[in-house]
Homo-oligomer: A and B are copies of this chain.
């Protein structure tokens, strides 16, 4: 069993702590946490055994998980590599990968780093939002695996296995492009849906009374942390801007057909949209029976 350091004891770092302890992967978990209130919560919830300053934590740990907003990770990762002891491994778990990989591309200890993105989360944040089993059955992406040492990769994969994740490999730019569409865009659509409704429905009482479970589901991500998502949008602006433009163009087409009273065309768009059901439910992946 290892001594694991978790930098950032929020939803993601905290949920990992729960599973790593339960899975007997970590004998000791050290938190590094700049917010005093989060540090106190992480200790009180038993997520970490101690909260220590960065240098001290890194000197003890053989595996470090960097789980802070992506702008802060961009600042901190080079310094962590500077401090990393021989044989120790650091992985990050952020939602953008290209800028971070570029920032440490020429670092002499690059091979001790694994660029990961375990795709899981909720709209909540902070140590008290940590959930056991959050990662179970979900997908982890590793980028630039050829730039990590075999040992570092093996340790990262062992960790993901304890969390119950399967790992796929992608180039960092490819990761950021796909995530723009499949995750970041849906956060924007939800944030802006919430904003629009709040702007128009001045009587909040109406929103509460009239919102069905449908609106609640569509607007759920609008509860997400700006401090986490702002830096993701900033680092993924190029792909996200393309994704958002496509979304706006599709909405304008829907709007045009709505105003023309062209219901058959609207029905066709909705039927096409319905194709998301088997994909989300994984049915499109069912192999065809052999003939």
Interface residues of chain A, those whose CB is within 8 Å of chain B, are 119-123, 138-139, 141, 168, 178-179, 181-183, 185-201, 204-224, 226-227, 229-231, 233-234, 237, 240-241, 243-248, 250-252, 254-255, 258-259, 261, 263, 266-267, 269-277, 279-280, 282, 284-285
Contacts and interface: CB of A to CB of B under 8 A. Distances in A.
A85 to B, nearest CB: 33
Contact of A258 (B119, B237, B269): B237
A242 to B, nearest CB: 9
A245 B255 contact: yes
Contacts of A123: 214
B212 A183 contact: yes
Contacts of A243: 196, 200
Given A269-B191, A270-B191, A284-B208, A219 B186 contact: yes
Query: Which residue, A219, A271, A284, has most C-beta atoms of chain B within 10 A?
Result: A219
A271 to B, nearest CB: 5
B267 A196 contact: no
A193 to B, nearest CB: 5
Given A119-B212, A218-B221, A220-B218, A195 B273 contact: yes
Given A198-B272, A199-B246, A267 B212 contact: no
Contacts of A193: 185-186, 189, 247
A224 B179 CA distance: 24
Contact of A230 (B209, B241, B263): B263
Can you tell how many copies of this chain the complex includes? Answer: 2
Nearest to A277: B223
A73 B110 CA distance: 66
A204 B190 CA distance: 22
Contacts of A210: 119, 139, 141, 178-179, 182-183
A246 to B, nearest CB: 5
A270 B218 contact: no
A267 B223 CA distance: 13
